[in-house]
A and B are shown apart, each in its own frame.
Chain A
Amino acid sequence: MNSPRPRKHDMASTPPLVQVEGLTHRYPGAGVDALRAVDFRVAEGEVHGLLGPNGAGKSTLLAILTGTLRPDRGQVRVDGLDPRHGRRLRGISAIVPQEYAFYPALSGRENLAFFGGVYGLPRRLYRERLAWCTDICQLGEVLERPARVYSGGLKRRLNLAIALLNRPRILYLDEPTVGIDAHSRQTILGAIRTLREQGTTMIYTSHYMEEVEAICDSLTVINAGQVIASGTLEQMLGRLGITRLYLELSGTADKQAQQALATWQAQWQAPDKVVLEAADSSDIVRILQALAQHGLSARRLRYGISRLEAVYMQLLEDTEAS
């Protein structure tokens, strides 16, 4: 097995592994462009989220990045190569498509063996990779069963395991957790975190903002084929200038307690539930201290969750308005 690559911390100084410039594509017979002058860069070791509503152009962009679709205009370079002519590139990349792209009539092991051959893995290396990817995707117990009897979650995990068999330097994930149970979702997210730690560059599309926020280093938001925002996660979250703190209190807040929290633009959902705007951790400490002064404490606290969703929705609304 390849040794894990060190995660790159200073991504700004790293030359981009993926570079997209002025990418434009219109499908034959379509009235509008599927992509229009799309630019973005992804550094090696970075996990880049590709966000956008259905039909925004994410899948078209992935198809171009993986070399299965030729753009009308613009330039794509992945590791310095044009994906359409980079057989070497296909040796270091893999895609986890949105569809269950494997053979339902074959068992998990037979599917993996087929892709092992397709990736050109020698027998010994294949065995090592098989052990690694079935472990990381927790497929060991179901490998001999026909894939058609797998649950939705197992199918998604097999879909991922097939891509991992190539031990890719760059991995494209097209909504890899859509429509599955919590256990399978956590398994897949765990696998992605492991890959992230090992330095795999990933381009990740999802409609689950918590996932994107938890996994991605940088983001590009596309709407109607155009990039409407791009940057690091911090930059994107900073766009609204707020972060939200959800609190469930140990008791009911009286008027004085409510006044004390008004500094943080408190929105009371119930006498014991409030949403506050806390810019940073020192704000959170101050909020908890204020609560303590009024004999209250936090029974449940959520911070940072769905922050990205708020930014994303705001971006889409701004685009619609303009």
Chain B
Amino acid sequence: MMGRGLRACINKEGLLLWRDPHALVLLFLMPAAFILIMSLALQEQFRAGEGLTHFVWVEDLDESEGSRKLLAYIDAHDSFRISDEEPGDNTFRLRIAPGFGASLDDDNARPAVYLTPGVPASFDGQREQLFLGALREALGRARIEIFTARVAPDFDLDLATVDDGLEVRYLYQRDEDDVAPSAVQQNVPAWLVFGAFFIAIPLSTTIIRERELGMDRRLRTTPVFQASILLGKLLPYFVLNQMQVIVMLAVGIYAVPALGGEALQMSGVHSGAMAVMAAAISLAALGYALLIAVICRTTEQATLLGGTGNILLAALGGIMVPKFIMPPALQAVAEVSPMAWGLDGLLAALLHGADIAGVSAFAATLASFGGIAILLAWLIQRQRQV
């Protein structure tokens, strides 16, 4: 009986899902679109150690060795390139005044360069300060070189190739194999978690619609086990969540790079850890959906609560704005969102190559949340039925 009843419930739920194109669009296209848009929009923001390359258009009225050295040092900078092309929106304009080269060798003179006609309007003050800093650094290096040539003509000094001896390590890197948190590496797990929790809307509205139709009352007069009805409803959505995971990872691996973004790196990612996290996220989402279904009386209420609840959990949980750029107080609040647990677990697997043991704490928290929510929903429903 359990077998036949369960099979019938699963088949029915699968058919109902398949015939609800709006739900499928919501569950697959919406998170995929978010992954594409946010990964492409934020990819520059996530490039650690790199920034945008700015071009510098130069009017060299001096054409001295000093001005050439200055320009060489600017060109060697990570963020600036000397360009001969017509200046555009991304271009600083630099004029080197006559006598600039001679002034470098004169301790009392102040070498003159001009930003002309000024800083492009599209640049903010930080970029201007960055350029001025690069300019000062280039000027200093050019002066050292000229001074060295004067006092030690035989010493071959090329400051452009000198190693500054600075080793940069990022806090997210626990070991050298850790992947940098690129835009796609942050956005795929983030929107995947968000999409998984969106099953709350179709699942809760289906349950409420059944209640309105009198289906739950009718089913309780049949010999089928209540557990079969519940499992038959949850299992198809669990499978749907797993399909979402596969599709969203595929979007990160194939679709984002096809549109000019970085590909999601899966090398070194522990598939078992990903599977455990996917299952735990789904369990939490299913519990959340059931709770909404028993709390809400109408499908309209469920859609509203499911939608706004998801957005709130996402905003809190670092889905929309990464947690590491939140102020510490908000980061602490973020820890109450199940989406944060899901995202942290997936990031552990994707960025740090965590294995099953490495994600088990996140998975256990999610599973506990899901289990408690299901139990609570069951108790509320039971109380209503008597």
Contact = CB atoms under 8 A, between A and B. Distances in A.
Contact of B222 (A103, A105, A166): A166
Interface string A104-134: 0110001001111111111000000000000
Interface stretch (B36-44, B67-75, B209-217): B209-217
B218 A95 contact: yes
B77 interface: no
A110 B15 contact: yes
A105 to B, nearest CB: 5
A112 to B, nearest CB: 11
A102 B217 CA distance: 11
Given A105-B16, A118-B8, A99 B214 contact: yes
A101 to B, nearest CB: 4
Contact of B223 (A91, A100, A106): A91
A162 B218 CA distance: 10
Interface string B209-240: 00001110111111110000000000000000
Contacts of B386: 69-70
Contacts of A105: 15-16, 19-20
Contacts of B15: 105-106, 110
A154 B36 CA distance: 48
Contacts of B385: 68-69
Chain A interface size band reads 35 or more
Interface string A73-110: 00000000000000110110111011111110110001
Contacts of B11: 113-114, 117
B1 interface: yes
A89 to B, nearest CB: 9
B16 A103 contact: yes
A115 B5 CA distance: 8
Interface residues of B, number: 25
B7 interface: yes
Contacts of A122: 4
A118 B224 contact: yes
B125 to A, nearest CB: 58
A117 B19 CA distance: 20
Nearest to B212: A99
A87 B5 CA distance: 14
A67 interface: yes
A78 to B, nearest CB: 11
Contacts of B218: 95, 97, 101, 162
Interface in B1-26: 1, 4-5, 7-9, 11-12, 15-16, 19-20
A102 B7 CA distance: 17
Contacts, number: 86
A97 B217 contact: yes
Nearest to A88: B223
Nearest to A116: B8
A114 B8 contact: yes
Interface string B191-224: 0000000000000000000000111011111111
Given A68-B220, A94-B221, A106 B16 contact: yes
A102 B221 contact: no
A90 B221 contact: yes
Contacts of A95: 218, 221
User: Counting chain B CB atoms within 10 Å of each CB, which of A66, A87, A105 scores highest?
Assistant: A105
Contacts of A66: 220-221
B5 A97 contact: no
Nearest to A165: B222
Interface string A37-80: 00000000000000000000000000100111110000000000
B4 A120 contact: yes
A120 B16 contact: no
Contact of A118 (B9, B16, B20, B213): B9
Contacts of B4: 117, 120-122
A162 B12 CA distance: 15
Interface in B97-153: none
Contacts of A88: 223
Contacts of B7: 117
Given A70-B386, A99-B213, A113-B8, A118 B219 contact: yes
CB-based closest 6 A-B pairs: A117-B8, A99-B214, A101-B214, A101-B218, A120-B1, A91-B223
Interface of B: 1, 4-5, 7-9, 11-12, 15-16, 19-20, 213-215, 217-224, 385-386
16 contacts: A67-B220, A68-B221, A69-B385, A90-B221, A94-B221, A95-B221, A97-B217, A98-B214, A100-B213, A101-B218, A102-B213, A102-B215, A117-B4, A118-B5, A119-B223, A120-B5
Given A94-B221, A98-B214, A117-B8, 20 more contacts: A63-B217, A67-B221, A68-B220, A87-B223, A88-B223, A90-B221, A97-B218, A99-B214, A103-B16, A105-B15, A105-B16, A105-B20, A106-B16, A110-B15, A116-B8, A117-B4, A117-B11, A118-B5, A118-B9, A118-B222
